[in-house]
Structure 1
Amino acid sequence: MNPEITTEKLGKSQIKLEIKVAKKDFDEYRKKALERLKAEVEIAGFRKGKAPDKMVIEKLGETRVESEALDMTVRESTFLAMAKENIIPIESPKVAIKQFAKDKDLCFTIEVSILPQVILGNYKNIKIKKETVKVEKEEVDKAIEDLRKRMATPIEKKEGLERGDFAEIDFEGSVKGVKLDKLSSQKMPLVVGEIKFIPGFEEKLMGMKKGEEREFELTLPKEGVDDDLKGQQAKFKVKLNELKAIQLPELNQEFAQRLGASEIGDLKKRMEGAIKNQKELEIENKYKIALIDKVAAKTKIEIPESLVNQEKERLIGEFSRQLSMSGMTVEQFLAGQKKTKENLDKDFIIQAEKNVRIGLTLAEISKAENIEATATEIDEEIDRLINEGMSRGLKKSDLVKSYENEAGKRQIEHLIKNKKTIERIAELNS
């Protein structure tokens, strides 16, 4: 079969093909379609595939045969047309039948998105100033104080509650005599003064002793609560279940040695070094992000809408999974933010287009710089991901199933190539 093909470029890396299949060629496909149907249909007195054509058509109906023939013709002639025109699609083509009638040629169109042409701009010698790293004394002191808090010892306390104590409370909040779950909780732990709850709430607890109950009223704030509660007068009933003083370890040589240092001066140097390393890593990441943004902005691409939509749906799916981990659905989030699904799409479409632009740019640079991911690198990354997952309590069998398949390996190969390409761009601009 040799279909007649007319090609039209639609822009944004979309191509439209008009394909005409001669009547005689369609008749050949109709014969093939009928043979396929004959092999499936059961007719009394005949083995499958052996009944006369006329009896098969009478049983199935002419429409079923024509539909099967049309599907087969469109599918195979589309494949032939795209191969002839050297078209590699990035999604399933959209098909529209223009002419399908008895004794006439079949004519249909397909619209398909293809990988766009990527014209790289200059990705070398781009000037971006890196931030300088400076660690303040206050940062070191705060880091050491945080360590003291993490290593603190809770001690049962008989005196009244005060700032800095650990408490566990039950509380019930009501507005206009109606108890509200959103203002109530059981066995809620808190370190008094560290977490901002409802303004004035913790102050009302001061002086309470273990087992004591207390009632008080507060005016709810105009920020951080649901619209129907803003500025409302709420009544609270609180019971103090547990009360412990937090005893911080002394800042001495013993404390330093527990953390692997010889003395306090050595501990401070180590903390300063750790903070500096973390800051350098953050600055390097910010630099690479800014660098890639500039490189991608210089790249000329007509980005297909289909790629942007695919990435948008991926981002929304990831966002949905993150919400579900905190016990919330997308619908609940939208209701709380007074947004619609259309608003969410708009929020993500900009990031999706940016991600696609960066991805296509990195892919083109990796080709220009001959960057590949080796089999050893892929295997090592799979081992690392499996070990990391197991450390979080995931099953090894599930992790192996996720990564050690063709799709998983391709994704890891893609990530490794991107990482190496970003490193190469950073080298070229250092």
Structure 2
Amino acid sequence: MKVTETTIEGCQALLTIELDTADMQEAMENAYQRLVKKTEVPGFRKGKTPRPILERYIGKDRLIEESLDEVLPKACSAAIKEQDLKSFGTPGVEILQNDPVIFKAKVPLPPKVELGDYKSIRLSPEPVEVSVEIITNMIRQIRHEKATWEPVERPVKDGDLAVMDMESNIDGTPFVNQKGVQIGINLESGYPAPGFSEALIGLKAGDEKEFKLRYPDDFAKPELAGKEPEFKIKVHEVKEENMPPEDDEFAKSIDVAEIQTFAELKERMTDNYRKQLENSAEGKFESKLVDELVKVSTAEFPSNLVDMEYERLVNQQLDRWQQQVGSEEEYRELLARVNPEDLARQLRPQAEERVRRSLILGQLATAEAIEVTEEEINAEIEVMLSGIPEDQREAQRPGFEGPEARDEINQIILSRKTMARLKELAGQDAGETPEAGDVKKPVKAAAKKAPAKKTVKKTEKAVEEKEEATE
């Protein structure tokens, strides 16, 4: 075997390798021994066909292809060692010719990451302010949900519920035809056609009306764009929404044991909303911090890392799509409409950016001597198990204790501690940078509970998706 050409491009080496005859002869003989046992040749018992006859029967190229499965990995490994390279993944191989065998090996090399002056980054989270108007609207929405509808003897107005018979057509073709249908009157709604609610304002029980409406030329449904439906309606009843008042009885109707008064309900909703805002602000703050770290740093990495991350993103997208549809048939129909090239244009840049950010954060952990102890991993496992019913915890424990699971938990904790360190550095006043690895404040667990019958892999995925939602 000899390496005829070596080219280093970024974080990958391109080797052109020619195999020696001796290397191929042994591999060819082993390939013959495998193929002769499963190939039926007329006039010979299976396993007894002489090699020259088998070679003529199946073709020499077929024998070479079979032998390459054995010889290429060994040749790649030897060439990498000969060139004093450190492979960072499985090399990609392209056969150039069969006789003699010459192939190219694309060898991924370790990433090269250089941190910039990250200790000069200064950034603070945005302050959180709870809007009184939003809380008021949230409470109003609950009141709407608990409202009753009472008949009234007056004309229709915005916000009412009208009971009616409806006949309609578009160019003589039946459109919406229903008896006793209840339609909410909402001037901002376009159902069943733009302007329908306006046409009913002022009508009262017993009134009839005929009118024509028009869909915009740029309507979302092309089959209705520019169409002019004709309606004939008869109002049978007008109902008015009767929302419960903002009092203690309304608060008790929410059926939360700790809430007995309206003041307590408002306080609870305000606190919950504030926590949502704080979590969102924290996520955005962390994302901005990493953005600043990436700006001052550089990372060069082999394409196989992007390939793996891209595959993971695609699988996540497929999972989301499958959860959004109602059946396997709908899922297959959805996949049939997916353009792989469009998917790659959408997700591959994300994969590349994720790899870059992950490598730079990993280098920061190394620079700051951040480590995870076995005690921290054990404590995290107990936190995850705490979300599982007590009688099932021991049965689920092995899924968290295996080497692969512990390594994933280690990465979760390491990422958390690295982010805590970055936030600590970014919040320091000039001249007050703490020592490397000195994370003073305890960091709350990112995943407090692990659902029953879920592995740590799914727990990690949930943490990642929560982080994505804040970016």
TM-score normalised to structure 1 length: 0.73
Task: Give the corresponding residue for 1:376.
Answer: 378
User: Is the deviation greater in 28-37 or in 420-429?
Assistant: 420-429
Q: Residue 93 of structure 2 contacts residue 103 of structure 2 at CA under 8 Å; is this kept in 1? A: no
Could you tell me whether the CA contact under 8 Å between 2:209 and 2:232 is conserved in 1?
A: yes
Give the root-mean-square deviation of aligned CA atoms: 4.8
Provide the secondary structure at the position in 2 that maps to 1:138. Answer: helix
Q: Secondary structure at the match of 2:422?
A: helix
Deviations 1:243-270 (CA, angstroms, capped at 9, x unpaired): 7643222222333455544544444444
Q: Residue 359 of structure 2 aligns to which amino acid in structure 1?
A: L
Please state how far the C-alpha of 1:145 moved relative to its aligned partner. 2.1
Check the 8 A contact 2:12/2:302 in 1, yes or no.
yes
1:154 maps to which of 127, 148, 157 = 148
When residues 301 and 246 of structure 1 are mapped into structure 2, their CA distance, relative to the original with a 3 A threshold, is: same
What letter corresponds to residue 149 of structure 2 in structure 1?
Answer: I
TM-score, with length taken from structure 2 = 0.67
SS in 1 for 2:9: strand
Q: Give 1:287 shift.
A: 0.8
Q: How does 1:257-336 map to 2 (within 5 A)?
A: 257-258=252-253, 260-261=258-259, 263-308=261-306, 311-312=309-310, 314-315=312-313, 318-319=316-317, 322=320, 325=324
Mark the runs of 5 or more structure 1 residues left unpaired by the alignment: 388-398
Contact kept? 2:187, 2:195, Cα under 8 Å = no
Stretch of structure 1 that moved more, 410-419 or 58-67: 410-419
Q: 1:21–1:333: structure 2 CA closer, same or farther, 3 Å change rule?
A: closer
Which residue of 424, 427, 433 corresponds with 1:427? 424
Q: Tell me the SS of whatever aligns to 1:29.
A: helix
Measure the CA separation in 1 of the matches of 2:281 and 2:370: 28
- Sort the Cα spacing of 1:267 and 1:386 in 2 relative to 1 into closer, same or farther, 3 A: closer
Q: What CA distance in whole angstroms lies between the structure 2 residues aligned with 1:110 and 1:45?
A: 41
Correspondence 1:66 to 2:64:
yes
Label 1:425 to 1:307 Cα distance change in 2 as closer, same or farther (>3 A). same
- Answer whether contact 2:219 2:226 (CA < 8 A) is retained: no
Instruction: Indicate the SS of the match to 2:272.
Output: helix
**Alignment pair present for 1:76 and 2:71:** no
Contact 1:175–1:232 (Cα < 8 Å) also in 2: yes
In the TM superposition, 1:330-345 aligns within 5 A as 345=344
Cα separation, partners in 2 of 1:210 and 1:423, compared to 1, 3 Å: farther
**How much does 1:109 deviate?**
1.4
Aligned-partner residue type, residue 88 of structure 1: S
Match of 2:455 in 1: none
Residue pair 1:334, 1:341 contacting (<8 A) in 2 also: no
Matched, 1:124 2:122: no
Q: Work out the CA distance in 1 between the residues paired with 2:180 and 2:4.
A: 72
Give CA deviations for 1:114-134 in whole Å, capped at 9, x if unaligned: 442122223335212322222
CA contact (8 A) 2:370 2:418 kept: no
Secondary structure of the 2:158 match is coil
SS of match in other structure, 2:418: helix
CA contact (8 A) 1:371 1:421 kept: no
Give 2:436's aligned residue.
none
Tell me the alpha carbon deviations over residues 79-104 of structure 1, each in whole angstroms, 9 at most, x when there is no partner.
Answer: 33345544334455031325x43xx5
Q: What amino acid is aligned across from residue 351 of structure 1 in structure 2?
A: Q
User: For the residues of structure 2 that align with 1:238 and 1:290, how far apart are their CA atoms?
Assistant: 56
Cα distance change on mapping 1:132 and 1:93 into 2, 3 Å: same
Distance in 1 of aligned mates of 2:199 and 2:305:
56
Matches within 5 A, 1:87-126: 87-90=86-89, 93-98=92-97, 100-101=98-99, 106-126=101-121
Cα distance change of structure 1 residues 39 and 247 upon mapping to structure 2, 3 Å threshold? same
Deviations along 1:297-348, whole A, 9 cap, x unmatched? Answer: 222112444544554565456456545626888998999xxx9865664444
SS of residue paired to 1:219: coil
How many angstroms does 1:16 deviate by?
Answer: 0.3
Deviation at 1:350, TM superposition (A): 3.7
Quick check: 2:115–2:360 contact (8 Å CA) kept in 1?
yes
Deviation at 1:195, TM superposition (A): 6.4
